[in-house]
Amino acid sequence: MPTESASCSTSRQAKQKRKSHSLSIRRTNSSEQERTGLPRDMLEGQDSKLPSSVRSTLLELFGQIEREFENLYIENLESSHSTSQLSQKLKTTYKASTSKIVSSFKTTTSRAACQLVKEYIGHRDGIWDVSVARTQPVVLGTASADHTALLWSIETGKCLVKYAGHVGSASGDQTAHIWRYAVQLPTPQPVADTSQISGEDEVECSDKDEPDLDGDVSSDCPTIRVPLTSLKSHQGVVIAADWLVGGKQAVTASWDRTANLYDVETSELVHSLTGHDQELTHCCTHPTQRLVVTSSRDTTFRLWDFRDPSIHSVNVFQGHTDTVTSAVFTVGDNVVSGSDDRTVKVWDLKNMRSPIATIRTDSAINRINVCVGQKIIALPHDNRQVRLFDMSGVRLARLPRSSRQGHRRMVCCSAWSEDHPVCNLFTCGFDRQAIGWNINIPALLQEK
């Protein structure tokens, strides 16, 4: 027993001795502990043979080292941020300057390749539509909100015939009229050279700069007031019309959400094309096949197939997010659509799921037209600009616009006349004028 008691006493003394050697330094300054970044349990439970004063000094020194590294780290971050800002500033400045240089080159190219040739002034209100005759004699036609349609000599700018048979703006009388005209083209005069007109493209123009229309130049030309045929079936404004291949049938588009196919000789309604959810904005026919495309405010356009007399199929194209202002046929199996969502899209009729090209712009797009031979799209904009793109979406030019030339309000429509030697592109707008342009297409394509 005494031997056992002695061994227990010896064991307790050894434990106390080991405990005294494993005493940890307890720091009472919690903020100092946080600065060193060491957890409390690491400070309290570690075995150390260093005197407490030495260990305390070391911890203090390590804390100072950590603070120095922290300050250096912060300085490096600030230096890196300022360097990044300087680099970004240099990039922005460089990009702006180079963009300005490139833009100046493009402007010069556009002015050289795109020249204003003739202004056709005579309407009393905005012009909704412009087109060029497909047969001889080749004349320019315009339809206006002033209830009239005018035919013009392309070369001289003289009004040849006025049609005043409608009682509403842009066929607001819910009818489409077919009328016959006979004109004798005047002798062309030398075309004034407008290439020397200077001025920046982005000059702002006020309403006071609009053409002086106090004199009605169309008052001297013959006036037709009775149509040859009147097509009546719509319950709303007729906004567009076109001929089917062969010339025996015509199609019309209306705000009553339908398009109608008529027999021209009998004026009878052959088909009523229904399916759009909102007002129609445009219709177009294929130049060689019995195909019709209609566009609408419901953000879609539809392809109607009349090639098989027993089956009239329809395909719906969905790809825009706003009103589809127009859709037109082009080469092959392609259709080009323009929209108020500021995009133009090129579609393959064999694959309607997604467009093969998309053009994004900065303004709503109105009635587009395609130069089929050269595959160039003319885009009339709400912001008074007219831009030219190829079918792959590459921008070719912007038509010149200044305080002395170009459109002064929204441009509504464009029309190509590829083979005309003087003017091969026409535009019209709410500034009550149509403009004839000479586009040097080889020069544009060479700069592409």
Give the pLDDT confidence score for residue 56 in this predicted structure.
85
Give the pLDDT confidence score for residue 36 in this predicted structure.
44
Q: Phi and psi dihedrals of 395, rounded to 5?
A: -75, 130
The answer to whether residue 184 is domain-embedded is no
The alpha carbons of the chain give a radius of gyration, in whole angstroms, of 39
Q: What angle do CA 291, 297, 305 make, to 5 degrees?
A: 15
Mean pLDDT of 338-367: 94
The answer to whether residue 9 is domain-embedded is no
Whole-number average pLDDT of the chain:
82
Residues 346 and 322 sit within 8 Å (Cβ to Cβ): no
Q: Which ranges of 37-189 does DSSP label H, i.e. alpha helix? A: 40-44, 52-113
Give the pLDDT confidence score for residue 91 in this predicted structure.
63
Residues 332 and 344 sit within 8 Å (Cβ to Cβ): no
N- to C-terminal Cα separation, the chain: 111
Give the pLDDT confidence score for residue 171 in this predicted structure.
64
Between 268 and 41, whose confidence is greater?
A: 268
Give the pLDDT confidence score for residue 362 in this predicted structure.
96
30 pLDDT band, cuts 50/70/90, is very low
Task: Tally the domains of the chain.
Answer: 1
Which among 134, 150, 202, 136 is positioned nearest to 434, based on CA atoms? 150
Mean pLDDT of 408-426: 95
Q: Is 114 helix (H, G, I), strand (E, B) or coil?
A: strand
311 pLDDT band, cuts 50/70/90, is confident
pLDDT at 337 over 70: yes
**What are all long-range contacts of 10-14, with beta carbons under 8 Å and residues at least 24 apart?**
none
Sheet with 159-163, edge to edge strand ranges: 127-132, 140-144, 149-152, 159-163, 223-224
Which among 272, 263, 266 is positioned nearest to 233, based on CA atoms? 272
Q: DSSP for 283-338, please give it.
A: EEE-SSSSEEEEEETTSEEEEEEEEETTEEEEEEEE--SS-EEEEEE-STTEEEEE
Token reading at 185: 């083209």
Rounded CA-CA distance 74/79 in Å is 9
The answer to whether residue 246 is domain-embedded is yes
Q: What is the pLDDT of residues 183-215, one digit of tens each?
A: 878 776 554 444 433 333 444 444 445 555 544
pLDDT at 264 over 50: yes
405 pLDDT band, cuts 50/70/90, is confident
The answer to whether residue 211 is domain-embedded is no
The answer to whether residue 51 is domain-embedded is no
The answer to whether residue 104 is domain-embedded is no
pLDDT at 46 over 80: no
The answer to whether residue 25 is domain-embedded is no
Domain extent at residue 259: 115-179+217-447
CATH number at residue 363: 2.130.10.10
Rounded CA-CA distance 347/333 in Å is 8
Q: Which ranges of 120-191 does DSSP label H, i.e. alpha helix? A: none
% the chain with pLDDT above 70: 73
pLDDT at 82 over 70: no
Q: DSSP for 367-391, please give it.
A: B-EEETTTTEEEEEBTTS-EEEEET
Residues 405 and 386 sit within 8 Å (Cβ to Cβ): no
Mean pLDDT of 349-365: 92
The answer to whether residue 78 is domain-embedded is no
Rounded CA-CA distance 186/154 in Å is 10
